[in-house]
Chains A and B, each alone.
Chain A
Amino acid sequence: MTTEFDIVIVGSGPAGLSAAARAAKRGVNHVLFERTDHASDTIYKYQKKKFVMATPDVLPLQSDMQFAAGVREDILGTWDAGLDEHAVNIRYNAEVTAIEGAKGDFTLTVNGNETVKAKHVIMSIGVQGNLRQLGVDGQDWERVQYQLDDPLEYDGETIVVVGAGDAAIENAIGLTEQNEVIIINRKGEFARAKQGNLNAINGAIENEVIECYFNASPARVEPGLLVLKTPEGEAEVKCDRIIARLGANPPRRFVEACGIKFSSDEPSALPELSAKYESSVEGLYIVGALAGYPLIKQAMNQGFEVVETILGNPVRPADEALLEERFAAIEGMAVGEVLEAIQNNVPLLSHMSRLQLREFMLESRIHRVRPKDIIFERNDFTNSVYSIVDGAVDIQINPNDPNEVVTLRTGAFFGEMGLLSGRRRTATILAHEDSILVETPRRAMLKLISSIDAAKRVIDEAAISRQIQTHLAPNIDPALLEEVVSTATIESFSAGDVMIEEGETTDDVYLIRSGSMMVSRRIGGRDVVLSYIPAGNYVGEMALLTEAPRSATVKATVAAETIKVDAGAFKRLLEREPALKSEIEARFRDRLVQNVEVEERPDSGDIIDFLVNQGLGEATDVLLIDEALCVRCDNCEKACAETHGGKSRLKREAGPTFGTLHVPTSCRHCEHPHCMSDCPADAIHRAPNGEVFIDEKCIGCGNCARDCPYNVIHMAYPPPPKPGLLQWLLLGMGPGPGEDKTPRAKPEGARETATKCDMCKDIAGGPSCVSACPTGAAIRVNPEEFFSITASTKSGRA
């Protein structure tokens, strides 16, 4: 049986639903195919009662289906009602397995046997793909499942979780509360998961809360039994239930089989699309998550737009008004023209598709600056990146002489050093003439770098030469550095990786561009730490100058990136530049003296070692308590609670101690904050002075609390209103000063949010814990300054 439609929509996620509703409303002959027996499977599979967000908040919704932030069940209910209301022709249990043909004459195969004809096809199948199955005999036992809605549904069972990704780990940990849990990992370790989950699972295995079979894979299933293949032979695991979380086969194979081209072979690549969502197959459109728009509201807007496009109606993209507002600073140019100008003028931004650029610009800001306007200042902690759409800016390269500047012109970008190193701005930048700049925040920039290779390359190339110039030889002519720059390469290290080994005979020089390193030497059979070197410094020039083997080992304290400068090129540079050479030699002599001093006082090295292990290698500001001064009055905690709605973000007693130096459990304001890496609501930010803080956009997902390796984020319900001092004294109302006021049980209608130290960024006197310490035991320090006090000065030695 063959039927014919004007528009066939494949997949009933938010994108497909919205497209179908529009088609129905316009009276178009359409059908919507959905693989499962319900609409919108991705959202259907969210956790029960999940609070679904309607981000980006600023973006208006343009759809015949309704959508606002709310609980999963309500949203699905509204959509089912919408399907009825618009009389959408939806067919459930209908998986489209092939699409052939061309515009005006497509043939779709449904469930492998039925075919339908279509003039246009809208593909909105999302990116969830098909769940991978166990693929072993007996897998159809009714207690093998590939999903877990609510871990608390099971009680007192022995459950085997198969898999090593985030989903498997989260399920396994969630189940331990009421069940015996066994996890099966095909590999020897958990490597694919996010840091927070890694810590959790490794901890659970260590404490024997979860039993783990490493290097094991399922061989067959019998009711009540899972047989494993292990390196030692077969193993039998008795169980009441098997939950396999093996990920999904991405839909790419299917999409490519339909003739659609992707932008590259990278797993993260997207299908090639026109500005109207048309794929490389004319008449076949792609919208929603598969088109690269991972949020519900975007998907719905696109579903609406694409139908209007097919019908030949002019569409105004939902974000048009927003972009107009964004671009208000540039008078007399339409949105399209501004986007055009940006792509033509700025190579860094030219590789994005027009759709990607629109979204990028929604997150960015356009500035119009006049000559001498300050764009940012040296030592600011901001980390946005600027591109010059038109005009020029001056970089003050010499802090002591504001007149010594380098000018960047149209098409250049700047500010990437703060982004890459996670440290303070290294120079002040002012407008040179009337200019138009695009300022892009950290998150949008990181997304650009990670999703578009060409952009990453452009950034890296410029960054290498600028970093070498800034940190090695700020005052010499960039032309002289050409050889050094062109032979330089970027190397990455994980925490603990050795970059230079004592005794080896290499002589390259390294510039640390992010993270930090620790220098140590073996003395009397023991590693003695000589110094700590933060980003922005170089190491390794000692061997080059002395032509002797490496005198010390250099190790990454945290994940780090270095620029490796070729020894030959560097030597030739020094030959040509005697002034630079003598400067470097002078630094090198200072260092020798310091090394000797440290070797005579090895305990100062031990302190560095201890502190680096406490994460100070990546800290920008850390609370340290001298226990010889601390009278245990806990006024610091009380001050924190009093200034932060009754909940202290600091635990004075918890945390390790070395000698009398105590590192309490409190935020280190990391250079590259782990907590920021996975916040879906983009609620975590870095303030200009470096404070990492969480704003009111937090949706309480708890990712940050899991991702922070130092356990300093706590999920808490909002505290009750604070009584006045008199009310408390006279009427006994509410909690008194310094008492923990956060409710333990869930108050009616409340939602947990993440709380952490914000370094009292809004309080004039700085951190309250420090200002409230009566004895001076509590101080907050920047480790860079601190380490230089403990051991030696700035740059490295090896």
Chain B
Amino acid sequence: MHEGFLVYAGFRYLKVATLLCVAAIAVYAWHSPPDEPNGGTWLGYGLGGIGAAIILLLMWFGVRKRRYGTVSKLQGWLSAHVYLGLSLIIVATLHTGFQFGWNLHTLAYGLMMVVIASGFFGIYAYARYPRLMTENRRGITTEEVYAGIGELDRECRQVASTMPDEIASLVLVSCNETRVGGSIARQLSGHDPDCGTERAFAGIRDLAASAGAEHGGDVRKLISLLGKKSTLLRTMRRDVQLKAMLEIWLYFHVPLSFALLAALVGHVISVFFYW
């Protein structure tokens, strides 16, 4: 019933891209330019033109993504984006005629390959993480998790209100110094080495022995509540981590694609300038 963007319309854009690549390779093999193959032959111009057009089309995706209420589906655009983007590996490489050097032209090529590589990671992330997120969540929504944590905090405070100060202050640490998310590195790591709840948990366990017999039951209760809270926190941190993985690559993909665009413009101007 659901059809992902990779299989969209019976792999229409995979077919288009494959055709394009096969045609490019065939013509390249058949073509024998006067000197070695390069961007300056008629085939070079042809492939370069096609490649540049594809890049512009891929860049346009960012604009198209923010146009809402359209007639065509964004899904089709992403499908085309991915397959045509991959076809650039062939089209642009043949366009270079394998002539690389320390110049603007090769910089544009390199940037393009990096953008494509990051796109590749995107595909991997899109294929893998969504399912992991669902499994990790076990049907609970973010709001429910935070409500659950709030409730556990309330219970902890209630239990702690009749307990010695060291323990009560540890409970406050758990309530006030627990964070989910934070810096990008923290999000991607999926845990927090300085988590208030973990510290409180460890501290209370250490104090358990010295807390006195009359507090035994309450200590056990606190430990169990904090244990539950840790489980919820793990779920949320994993959720944040997976969400970050789904997004992080775009922070390379998009800026680099703009750098590519700039390099591409430079490449084209310089070619025509030196001609």
Contacts and interface: CB of A to CB of B under 8 A. Distances in A.
A635 B75 contact: no
A141 interface: no
Contact of A632 (B66, B68, B72, B130): B130
Given A771-B72, A774-B74, A629 B134 contact: no
A712 to B, nearest CB: 16
Contacts of B134: 627-628, 657, 660, 662
A763 B139 contact: no
B8 interface: yes
A631 B69 CA distance: 20
Contacts of A630: 130
B4 A775 contact: yes
Contact of A629 (B72, B130, B141): B130
Contacts of A770: 73
Contact of A654 (B1, B66, B130, B141): B141
Interface in B44-78: 65-66, 68-75, 77-78
A639 B75 contact: no
A631 B2 contact: no
A78 B212 CA distance: 77
B244 to A, nearest CB: 11
B75 A765 contact: no
B130 A771 contact: no
Contacts of A657: 134, 137, 139
Contacts of A52: none
Interface in B1-51: 1-5, 8
Interface string B118-129: 000000011001
B211 to A, nearest CB: 33
B130 A774 contact: no
B68 A639 contact: yes
Contacts of A737: 66
B2 A779 contact: yes
A764 B126 CA distance: 29
Given A657-B139, A789-B1, A628 B72 contact: no
Contact of A774 (B65, B71, B139): B65
Contacts of B65: 635, 772, 774
B246 interface: yes
Nearest to A642: B68
B199 interface: no
A774 B69 contact: no
A640 to B, nearest CB: 8
B68 A768 contact: yes
Contact of B75 (A628, A660, A774): A774
Contacts of A654: 141, 143
Given A653-B142, A657-B139, A775-B78, A639 B69 contact: yes
B56 to A, nearest CB: 19
Given A629-B130, A654-B141, A660-B134, A771 B69 contact: yes
A656 B66 CA distance: 28
A757 to B, nearest CB: 14
Given A653-B141, A657-B134, A774-B78, A629 B69 contact: no
A732 B107 CA distance: 36
B232 to A, nearest CB: 17
A776 B5 contact: yes
B188 to A, nearest CB: 16
A459 interface: no
Nearest to B131: A628
B4 A776 contact: yes
Question: Which among B2, B74, B126 has the greatest number of chain A C-beta atoms within 10 A?
Answer: B2
B7 to A, nearest CB: 8
A786 interface: yes
B1 A643 contact: no
Contacts of B179: none
B8 A776 contact: yes
Contacts of B70: 765, 768, 771-772
Contacts of A797: none
Contacts of A768: 68-70
Interface in B98-143: 125-126, 129-131, 133-134, 137, 139, 141-143
Interface in A748-798: 760, 763-765, 768, 770-777, 779, 781, 786, 789
B126 A631 contact: yes
B243 interface: yes
Contacts of A627: 130-131, 133-134
A550 interface: no
A501 interface: no
A643 B126 contact: no
Contacts of A624: 1-2
B5 A775 contact: yes
Contacts of A120: none
Nearest to A653: B141
A638 B74 CA distance: 13
Contacts of B129: 631
Contacts of B126: 629, 631, 775
A635 B74 contact: yes
A626 interface: yes
Nearest to A662: B134
A207 B27 CA distance: 73
A643 B1 CA distance: 26
Interface string A37-53: 00000000000000000
Contacts of B71: 764-765, 771
A738 B2 CA distance: 25
A774 B5 contact: yes
A771 B65 CA distance: 10
Contacts of B141: 653-654
A75 B246 CA distance: 59
Interface in A615-633: 624, 626-633
A364 B5 CA distance: 48
Interface in B200-216: none
Given A765-B70, A765-B71, A629 B246 contact: no
A515 B134 CA distance: 32
Contacts of A775: 4-5, 75, 78, 126
Contacts of A773: 73-75
Contacts of B73: 765, 770-771, 773, 776
Interface in A712-771: 737-738, 760, 763-765, 768, 770-771
Given A632-B130, A660-B131, A772 B68 contact: yes
Nearest to B75: A776
A763 B69 CA distance: 6
Contacts of B130: 627-632, 660, 777
Interface in A642-690: 642-643, 653-654, 656-657, 660, 662
Contacts of B142: 653
Interface string A168-196: 00000000000000000000000000000
B128 to A, nearest CB: 10
B74 A632 contact: no
Contacts of A626: 1-2
Contacts of A629: 2, 4-5, 126, 130
Contact of B246 (A631, A643, A772): A631
A783 B72 CA distance: 23
Count chain B CB atoms within 10 A of each CB in A635, A654, A777 and give the residue with the most. A777
B246 A632 contact: yes
B146 to A, nearest CB: 12
The 10 A-B pairs at the shortest CB distance, nearest first, are namely A626-B2, A765-B71, A642-B68, A639-B68, A643-B69, A627-B134, A776-B75, A774-B78, A628-B131, A763-B69
10 contacts: A632-B133, A632-B246, A633-B246, A642-B68, A765-B72, A770-B73, A771-B69, A771-B72, A774-B74, A786-B1
Given A628-B130, A633-B246, A768-B68, 18 more contacts: A635-B74, A638-B68, A639-B68, A643-B68, A653-B142, A654-B143, A657-B137, A657-B139, A771-B71, A772-B70, A773-B74, A773-B75, A776-B3, A777-B2, A777-B130, A779-B1, A781-B1, A789-B1
